[in-house]
Amino acid sequence: MNENQKFDSLSKELTFLTCELSRACQNKEKFFASTFNLTLAEFKCLRLFTGRSYLSIKELASEMNITPGRITHILTSLEDKKFILRKIDQTDRRNVIVHLTSKSEPFIKNLNESHVKQHKEILDKIAPENRDLVISAIKDLIKAIKHWSEKS
């Protein structure tokens, strides 16, 4: 097999593997969220508050890459669960700021700790001598995808 054929073969394999990885991660995150009685979208939203006590709706919609209408639906559900409060921005009344409640802060801490524990269990399934290589390869893949998407 020449270099072009090898590159084509690796590209096809990467196509399959990235789709498979995306599905596996989606299923893993969906299962994890359900153990905390959250939807996947609620889980992803709450994770954005790690180290922060408030975010604007614009920031949340942008970070999650969803429409303001969809973020409103997610926030209504989180508000019903008493995890967040929406307040009008006093400096610009057109903006809404989403604040964590006192109930959500320990919940998010537990959520994050459990998320790390879940990934420790996954990492434990990888041979110790391959763990650094896997992490390095994933970092390289993310960097390459971001570089590609910035140029597209």
Q: pLDDT tens-digit profile of 76-118?
A: 999 999 999 999 988 888 889 999 999 998 999 999 999 999 9
Tokens for 1, please give them: 């097999």
User: What domains can you pick out in the chain, each with its CATH number?
Assistant: 3-151 (1.10.10.10)
Instruction: Calculate mean pLDDT across residues 122-151.
Output: 96
Condensed to tens digits (0 to 9), the pLDDT of residues 94-105 reads 889 999 999 998
pLDDT for 92? 87
Alpha helices, H only, the chain: 3-35, 40-47, 57-64, 68-80, 104-123, 131-151
- Retrieve residue 23's tokens: 């599905």
Distance between CA 90 and CA 7 in Å, rounded? 56
Q: In this predicted structure, what is the pLDDT of residue 141?
A: 96
pLDDT, position 105? 87
pLDDT at 21 exceeding the cut of 90: yes
Share of the chain above pLDDT 90, in %: 88
DSSP 10-41: HHHHHHHHHHHHHHHHHHHHHHHHHHTT--HH
Q: How far is CA 96 from CA 61, 74, 103, 149, in A?
A: 12, 14, 20, 30
